[in-house]
A and B are shown apart, each in its own frame.
Chain A
């Protein structure tokens, strides 16, 4: 026996503090302090990080049944359903800033003109509902996808909402997740979407946020995931795929960076990791170094992960750090479906819903394409099993929860 402890061994043996992370994420579902008011508009993304994080931690049971119901109801409370004579602004809002407390119908009518679905909020809302086992019957899928098609630009990109938003690769991604999760593409133009994505491929073979901007890890994920979710990944030729792999693989320093010559950041263990998973090349990375870096950003006191060591943890980096660890097969964590960024269990639930919609011959699914994403049967089986367990847990709660990002 030697008393010499190798630093690397110490980091390699560092445990992921699973229960601390669960408690950390649970806290964010409750009352948030005033200093977080600048996140008011994206409250549903905080729900997404917390709920999906707990799911990846196999800890959804820590959300009491009543609270689970409250989350679902609150999410549905953000649903915007336009009338036939109104703009196609269907989808989810991420907050209630534009929902006034009043019985005055005229006042409500005026504010209504500023209530729009927002693609990122619709994506995270549907993902949360799927993760919590909701059957999505309270959604009009056609209506929501009409809202997605309405914010597509002539160049193929997407804005976040019907008015007043920039358009870029982030919302291309959100559009693809929504259509894939709802198994319906309606009037969304996949061809121009593909053209926009390919026009944003840069000379170094990463994708930029829009057109000739700098290649970036986050937007490269958005581009590749959107291609996969829209069944267009096969359109990339072998040469392009190999060069994409090169750019992605070169992002590893110990953890991953988002651009060449930028510092490493925990969230890129997800963005780059997921991109490589989509290209079936994640196993070419160094798992131990990746894990080692993520672990240096773990807050041992209050749980959670930060972007850098000695920084304050937040739900965003906590969730993406957990996903990054899940990719390397960390014990105690569920596997994550890379392109939707939800657990395989939640994805299995979605597939089950798609199946039932198709069997019912739901008019919404007419013309929808068959599943384009391959998951191994074993993975799906395991995921289903877990899903069933989750449903058992929730049986005490009231309705539309049970049936089965």
Chain B
């Protein structure tokens, strides 16, 4: 929740609507907040006036160029007002306005309000109306250059890619972002999104596993990379973590070299557990899990100690119910 006001943005040479001759024919309509309003906002005179005029044009169903400009002012004062955005779209349709201009306007607004739901939604609708998404990759790239984890920008980018089939150049873009910041979880997610579309064939899986293991070699305690590794393994035909033995080898190597990243240990726990359950109560593998869980709980991941105790207990009960059968 942030307090943002674009009061200043409207400039010092602001002329009130009541003093504009071209608006002399409009009678402003005040808001009816009821007799004893709560959470009443002490609107600035400017805010109050702009919305009084906005209500007036809605009430007279006016859809003109000056009405469009009025919505621009209203949205600068409150870009979260979804009704103003909706009315703006109704005006644009009525005027059969050049929507390219609207895209330019939105590029500017998004530059200032990159985390506003309504702005991004408006952008989506206009792009749909134009049936032209040629600017969307650049637009979202600019937003991601400022904040590489901006959820709105990623959502819009995915939508554009999915709707207009823009997958072709996405992998290099994602790769660049992962190189810049290997901990960028949004970029890893986008990588999964692209490859899922292209198809997780055995070759793709193999390549992605190598790619990810190389990343993990650089930063071993990176949860994003480990999650991606597991996610890709589960795309294999049998969905097992042990289906590509080189990953287990790689992990055991890291472990034997002394690495104790909780994500590495969690992965080993998962693989051994999976194998223990498959192998029909393999005691040796189960003991490995218990030892690792105990190490996590007491040394490497103490904040999750109750969880690791739970994981061990869970396996124990699963195995005993198995052997009971």
State the main secondary structure of chain B at its contact with A: helix
Contacting residues, chain A, for B218 (C-beta < 8 A): none
Interface string of B79-99 (1 = CB under 8 A from A): 111110111010000000000
- CA–CA, A375 to B58, complex, Å? 48
Nearest-neighbour CB distance to chain B for A271, whole angstroms, equals: 14
For residue A39, CB closer than 8 A to chain B, the reply is yes
Contact A214 B32 (CB under 8 A): no
Contacting residues, chain A, for B34 (C-beta < 8 A): 73-74, 77, 96
B62-89 with Cβ < 8 A to chain A:
77-83, 85-87, 89
For residue A394, CB closer than 8 A to chain B, the reply is no
Contact A315 B1 (CB under 8 A): yes
Contact B184 A261 (CB under 8 A): yes
With A110-B60, A213-B189, A261-B223 known as contacts, the answer to whether A40 contacts B89 (CB < 8 A) is no
Contact A216 B78 (CB under 8 A): no
Contact of A35 among B3, B55, B149, B304 (CB under 8 A): B3
- CA–CA, A165 to B124, complex, Å? 11
For residue B107, CB closer than 8 A to chain A, the reply is no
Nearest-neighbour CB distance to chain A for B101, whole angstroms, equals: 20
Contacting residues, chain B, for A73 (C-beta < 8 A): 34-36
For residue B288, CB closer than 8 A to chain A, the reply is no
Interface size of A as a range: 35 or more
Contacting residues, chain B, for A36 (C-beta < 8 A): 3, 41
Contacting residues, chain B, for A153 (C-beta < 8 A): none
- CA–CA, A166 to B124, complex, Å? 9
Nearest-neighbour CB distance to chain A for B308, whole angstroms, equals: 9
For residue A367, CB closer than 8 A to chain B, the reply is no
Contact B83 A164 (CB under 8 A): yes
Nearest-neighbour CB distance to chain B for A261, whole angstroms, equals: 4
- CA–CA, A40 to B230, complex, Å? 44
- CA–CA, A165 to B83, complex, Å? 9
Contact B41 A99 (CB under 8 A): no
For residue B151, CB closer than 8 A to chain A, the reply is yes
Interface size of B as a range: 35 or more
- CA–CA, A80 to B37, complex, Å? 17
- CA–CA, A102 to B227, complex, Å? 58
Smallest CB-CB separation from A204: which chain B residue?
B227
For residue A1, CB closer than 8 A to chain B, the reply is no
Contact B78 A38 (CB under 8 A): yes
Smallest CB-CB separation from B55: which chain A residue?
A100
For residue A283, CB closer than 8 A to chain B, the reply is yes
Contacting residues, chain A, for B61 (C-beta < 8 A): 110
For residue A359, CB closer than 8 A to chain B, the reply is no
Contact B304 A67 (CB under 8 A): no
Nearest-neighbour CB distance to chain B for A281, whole angstroms, equals: 8
Nearest-neighbour CB distance to chain A for B188, whole angstroms, equals: 9
For residue B234, CB closer than 8 A to chain A, the reply is yes
Nearest-neighbour CB distance to chain B for A220, whole angstroms, equals: 13
Contact B5 A47 (CB under 8 A): no
Contact of B78 among A40, A96, A262, A289 (CB under 8 A): A40
Contacting residues, chain A, for B183 (C-beta < 8 A): 260-261
Contact B58 A114 (CB under 8 A): yes
For residue A336, CB closer than 8 A to chain B, the reply is no
Nearest-neighbour CB distance to chain B for A226, whole angstroms, equals: 19
Contacting residues, chain A, for B173 (C-beta < 8 A): none
Contact A28 B36 (CB under 8 A): no
Contacting residues, chain B, for A101 (C-beta < 8 A): 29-32
For residue B324, CB closer than 8 A to chain A, the reply is no
A269-315 with Cβ < 8 A to chain B:
281, 283-286, 289, 314-315
Smallest CB-CB separation from B302: which chain A residue?
A286
Contacting residues, chain A, for B78 (C-beta < 8 A): 37-38, 40-41
- CA–CA, A202 to B57, complex, Å? 45
Contact A213 B4 (CB under 8 A): no
- Pairs A–B under 8 Å by Cβ, sample size 22: A32-B40, A33-B42, A34-B44, A41-B81, A70-B38, A71-B38, A96-B32, A98-B55, A102-B29, A104-B59, A107-B59, A114-B83, A114-B86, A161-B82, A166-B120, A204-B227, A209-B151, A246-B266, A284-B306, A284-B310, A285-B307, A314-B1
Binding site for A on B (CB under 8 A): 1-5, 7, 29-44, 47, 51, 55, 58-61, 77-83, 85-87, 89, 117, 120-121, 124, 149, 151, 154-155, 158, 183-186, 189-190, 192-193, 196, 222-224, 227-228, 230-232, 234-235, 266, 303-307, 310, 314
Given contacts A97-B31, A203-B232, A316-B1, list 18 more A-B pairs with CB under 8 A: A33-B41, A34-B43, A36-B41, A37-B78, A38-B3, A39-B80, A40-B78, A41-B81, A43-B39, A70-B37, A77-B34, A102-B29, A166-B121, A212-B189, A250-B223, A261-B185, A261-B222, A283-B306
Binding site for B on A (CB under 8 A): 28-44, 46-47, 50, 67, 70-71, 73-74, 77, 96-102, 104, 107-108, 110-111, 114, 116, 118, 160-161, 163-166, 202-204, 208-216, 242, 245-246, 249-250, 252-254, 259-262, 281, 283-286, 289, 314-317
